[in-house]
């Protein structure tokens, strides 16, 4: 047999090597859930389909350009995979186009990025090195010249493979491309690279929404809000804090599983545990953030609108018209401010804060930050509160002031002299350190309460504490199952781990633990009602947590929801109290009994609600709405 007959098409070799590498990343480095053999098969074939589709384009180039195309395509493709892997290690999510526009944040990430790098990551580039080496040193055994017939065949096969992949994906998950909120579904069914192409198309579509919006969407949205979230009922606490200062503390990465819990026999958050007895504490309060994390939690609190499914509203729509809480309180005579010892442009806060009505932003320039009093993301929480008091004392009264803490932030670093609790012992360095930084923040909040009392501010203020989002992602499920003494962290457990602490502390008021389902979407109407501010002309998707007349569910940004009786996530319906799986709610099923499962009516309402909120933001619809006269 001649050497010529043994030649291997270089694009085929590249497709096999790159596809295999991609599958290994999907299967073993991303935490992608697989429920059946069909999903396993689709996950296996889609990286090869994507690789073949792209590398097959090289046959249309001349030999020199063909080699260069294959080499650089392999390199660029690997970098795309790697950047997604780094992002996934921190957020258990995939990069979107809006996230890329947040690249200005990267300079502030510091040790967070380095904590995501693994020495073994270099193995991801082995196939790139092999392709480069073979293309240069073994030209005699690889084929780079093709007849027109072979070129057409390569193109036809790549398209056929792509269509076949999509057909299988549609069989497995009907209406797949409508599930834009579930990036894991898209990646495991059509592949990372096809997902990115789809994301680009989505981004183009959403950018056009504002251009073509004319306000005609508002009557339908207003009617939905009136029927489902607006309540004429006033709670017994309406106006109880009228005229008082509001001090809002955003607790970085704080999750409810820390509260009233121990580690190695010690309370993790002793001060917050005691504070429950003197506060309204919501034990079933859920964060509802997505890719914008802390900025998403701020957006939820200030606007009672949902964050976007892709990117951060603070970046993508920071110039929109809003009817935010700082602006509303400013009209009520409040001086509004934010305290955060970070770069003012991080998450585009300087632009967004000004737009939603904040009078003053005390950013990192307002603080003395040294090597001794900072770690991780910057100024430690204790000196942060200590240095903030002098500013707080001099603010015009009444004031609404928000404090954003930093220490309990990934990668949860803390110096030995600041650690007052031992590290946990598991296979996750992240979880091991999490308890120490959480304890430190707990101590910082206790110190802040004492400083408020000493300064004379405490008695005439209400103090709100809220965890902004999760700290431990499901990338650390094995360690979490060990800490929580569970065999595994199920999808039901994952939703329950999205609970974050929410305290409303009103000096002189007795404490009460409230078990009703609550979320960040409810904070704005709840606080405004406590301050005696009428919200009948506002338009929001939250309700006052102290009224009985409120919707019985909380929607998460990925389409999951928690209701009084049920939890729905990833097409599964659970009993909220027991965690028992109740049935399948897949829309593709013909069985009427499955179609009418208890979760489906709420699921449909959640999708409508998320869609309405997105329309408001993408279309900048509040520019067509007069909050002063609308009924």
Give the pLDDT confidence score for residue 93 in this predicted structure.
77
Rounded to an integer, what distance in angstroms lies between the CA atom of residue 539 and that of residue 627?
8
What does each C-alpha distance from 611 to 22, 353, 360 come to in angstroms? 33, 25, 33
Tokens read off for 93: 């999510």
pLDDT higher for 153 or 323?
A: 323
Judged against a pLDDT cut of 70, whether residue 136 lies above it is answered with: no
Judged against a pLDDT cut of 90, whether residue 97 lies above it is answered with: no
**Confidence grade of residue 345 (pLDDT, cut at 50, 70, 90):** confident
221 CA to centre of own chain: 25
**Confidence grade of residue 593 (pLDDT, cut at 50, 70, 90):** very low
Of 170-184, 239-253, 265-279, 533-547, the least confident: 170-184
Long-range contacts, 488-493 (Cβ 8 Å, 24+)? 490/579, 491/33, 491/569, 491/570, 491/572, 491/574, 492/567, 492/569, 492/572, 492/574, 492/579, 492/581, 493/579
Tokens read off for 574: 């659970």
Rounded to an integer, what distance in angstroms lies between the CA atom of residue 401 and that of residue 231?
27
What does each C-alpha distance from 295 to 312, 588, 612 come to in angstroms? 7, 36, 20
pLDDT higher for 100 or 149?
A: 149
Q: Percent of the chain beyond pLDDT 90? A: 57
The mean predicted confidence, pLDDT, of the chain is 88
Give the pLDDT confidence score for residue 182 in this predicted structure.
66
Rounded to an integer, what distance in angstroms lies between the CA atom of residue 182 and that of residue 568?
14
Rounded to an integer, what distance in angstroms lies between the CA atom of residue 34 and that of residue 40?
6
15-73 confidence digits (pLDDT tens): 899 999 999 999 998 878 787 888 889 889 899 998 888 888 887 877 778 888 888 99
Dihedral, CA atoms, 139, 157, 186, 195, nearest 10 degrees?
Answer: 50
pLDDT higher for 171 or 3?
A: 171
Give the pLDDT confidence score for residue 2 in this predicted structure.
44
- End-to-end Cα distance, the chain: 85
Q: Find, among 207, 186, 205, 208, the residue nearest to 195 by Cα.
A: 186
481-495 confidence digits (pLDDT tens): 999 999 999 999 999
Please count the other Cβ atoms lying within 10 Å of the Cβ belonging to residue 564. Answer: 12
Q: Are 18 and 127 in contact (CB under 8 A)?
A: yes
Q: Are 285 and 71 in contact (CB under 8 A)?
A: no
What is the bridge-based pairing of β-strands 566-569 and 561-563? antiparallel
Judged against a pLDDT cut of 80, whether residue 217 lies above it is answered with: yes
Q: Find, among 214, 185, 190, 74, the residue nearest to 133 by Cα.
A: 74
Judged against a pLDDT cut of 90, whether residue 348 lies above it is answered with: no
Residue found under tokens 């309700």: 543
Instruction: Give the DSSP letter of residue 243.
Output: T
Judged against a pLDDT cut of 60, whether residue 579 lies above it is answered with: yes
**Confidence grade of residue 139 (pLDDT, cut at 50, 70, 90):** low
For 229-233, what is the mean pLDDT?
74
Q: Are 468 and 294 in contact (CB under 8 A)?
A: yes
Give the pLDDT confidence score for residue 109 in this predicted structure.
52
E strand map for 468-596: 502-505, 512-514, 518-519, 553-555, 561-563, 566-569, 572-575, 581-584
Q: Are 206 and 618 in contact (CB under 8 A)?
A: yes
Give the pLDDT confidence score for residue 141 in this predicted structure.
55
Q: Percent of the chain beyond pLDDT 70? A: 90
Tell me the domains of the chain and their CATH numbers.
4-209 (no CATH), 235-624 (3.40.720.10)
For 410-429, what is the mean pLDDT?
92
Q: List residues with catalytic annotation.
A: 294
Give the pLDDT confidence score for residue 197 in this predicted structure.
86
pLDDT higher for 14 or 259?
A: 259
Beta bridge partners of 485: none
Give the pLDDT confidence score for residue 358 in this predicted structure.
97
Tokens read off for 158: 């790549």
Tokens read off for 241: 């804090």
Q: Find, among 435, 415, 413, 429, the residue nearest to 110 by Cα.
A: 413
Tokens read off for 374: 């900072």
106-133 confidence digits (pLDDT tens): 555 555 666 778 888 899 999 889 888 8
487-530 confidence digits (pLDDT tens): 999 999 999 999 999 999 999 999 899 999 999 999 999 999 99
Backbone angles phi, psi at 184, to 5 degrees: -65, -40
Rg (CA), the chain: 27
Give the pLDDT confidence score for residue 595 in this predicted structure.
45
Q: Find, among 598, 412, 566, the residue nearest to 495 by Cα.
A: 566
423-437 confidence digits (pLDDT tens): 999 999 999 999 999
**Confidence grade of residue 551 (pLDDT, cut at 50, 70, 90):** confident
Judged against a pLDDT cut of 60, whether residue 587 lies above it is answered with: no
């Amino acid at each position: 047999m001649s050497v010529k007959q043994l030649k291997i098409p270089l694009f085929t070799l590249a497709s096999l090597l790159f596809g295999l590498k991609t599958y290994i990343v999907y299967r073993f480095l991303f935490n992608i859930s697989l429920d059946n053999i069909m999903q396993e098969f689709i996950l296996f074939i889609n990286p090869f389909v994507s690789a073949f589709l792209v590398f097959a384009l090289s046959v249309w180039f001349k030999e020199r350009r063909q080699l260069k195309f294959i080499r650089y395509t392999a390199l660029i493709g690997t970098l795309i995979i790697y950047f997604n892997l780094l992002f996934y290690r921190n957020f258990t999510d995939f990069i979107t186009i809006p996230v890329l526009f947040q690249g200005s944040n990267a300079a502030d990430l510091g040790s967070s990025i380095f904590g995501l790098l693994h020495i073994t990551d270099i193995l991801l580039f082995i196939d790139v090195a092999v392709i480069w080496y073979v293309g240069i040193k073994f030209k005699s055994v690889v084929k780079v010249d093709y007849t027109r017939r072979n070129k057409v065949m390569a193109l036809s096969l790549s398209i056929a493979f792509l269509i076949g992949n999509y057909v299988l994906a549609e069989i497995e998950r009907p209406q797949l491309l409508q599930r834009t909120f579930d990036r894991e579904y898209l990646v495991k069914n059509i592949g990372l690279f096809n997902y990115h192409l789809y994301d680009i198309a989505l981004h183009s579509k959403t950018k056009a929404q504002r251009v073509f919006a004319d306000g005609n969407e508002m009557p339908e949205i207003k009617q939905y809000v009136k029927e489902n979230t607006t309540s004429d009922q006033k709670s017994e606490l309406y106006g109880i804090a009228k005229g008082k200062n509001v001090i809002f503390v955003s607790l970085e990465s704080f999750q409810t599983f820390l509260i009233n819990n121990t580690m190695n026999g010690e309370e993790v958050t002793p001060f917050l545990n005691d504070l429950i007895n003197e506060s309204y504490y919501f034990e079933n309060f859920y964060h509802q953030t997505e890719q914008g994390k802390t900025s998403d939690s701020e957006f939820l609190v200030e606007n009672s609108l949902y964050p976007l499914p892709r990117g951060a509203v603070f970046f993508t729509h920071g110039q929109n018209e809003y009817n935010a809480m700082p602006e509303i309180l400013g009209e009520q005579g409040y001086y509004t401010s934010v305290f955060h010892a970070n770069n003012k442009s991080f998450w585009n806060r300087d632009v967004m804060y000004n737009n939603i009505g904040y009078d003053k932003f005390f950013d990192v320039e307002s603080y003395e930050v040294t090597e001794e009093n900072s770690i991780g993301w910057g100024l430690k929480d204790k000196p942060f509160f200590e240095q903030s008091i002098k500013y707080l004392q001099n603010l015009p009264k009444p004031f609404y002031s928000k404090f954003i803490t930093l220490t309990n932030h990934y990668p949860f670093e803390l110096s030995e002299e600041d650690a007052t609790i031992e590290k946990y012992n598991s296979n996750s360095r992240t979880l091991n350190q999490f308890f120490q930084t959480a304890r430190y923040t707990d101590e910082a909040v206790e110190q802040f309460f004492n400083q408020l009392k000493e300064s004379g501010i405490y008695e005439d203020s209400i103090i709100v504490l809220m965890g902004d989002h999760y700290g431990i992602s499901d990338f650390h499920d094995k360690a979490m199952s060990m800490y929580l003494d569970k065999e595994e962290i199920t999808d039901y457990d994952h939703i329950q781990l999205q609970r974050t602490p929410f305290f409303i502390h009103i000096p002189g008021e007795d404490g009460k633990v409230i078990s009703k389902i609550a979320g960040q979407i409810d904070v704005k109407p709840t606080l405004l009602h406590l301050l005696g501010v009428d919200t009948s002309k506002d338009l929001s998707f939250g309700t006052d947590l102290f009224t009985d007349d409120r919707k019985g569910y909380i929607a998460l940004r990925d389409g999951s929801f928690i209701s009084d009786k049920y939890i729905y996530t990833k097409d599964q319906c659970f009993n909220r109290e027991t965690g028992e799986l109740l049935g399948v709610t897949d829309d593709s099923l013909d069985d009427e009994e499955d179609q009418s499962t208890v979760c489906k009516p709420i699921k449909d309402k959640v999708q409508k609600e998320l869609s309405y909120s997105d329309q408001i933001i993408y279309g900048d619809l509040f520019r067509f709405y007069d909050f002063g006269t609308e009924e």
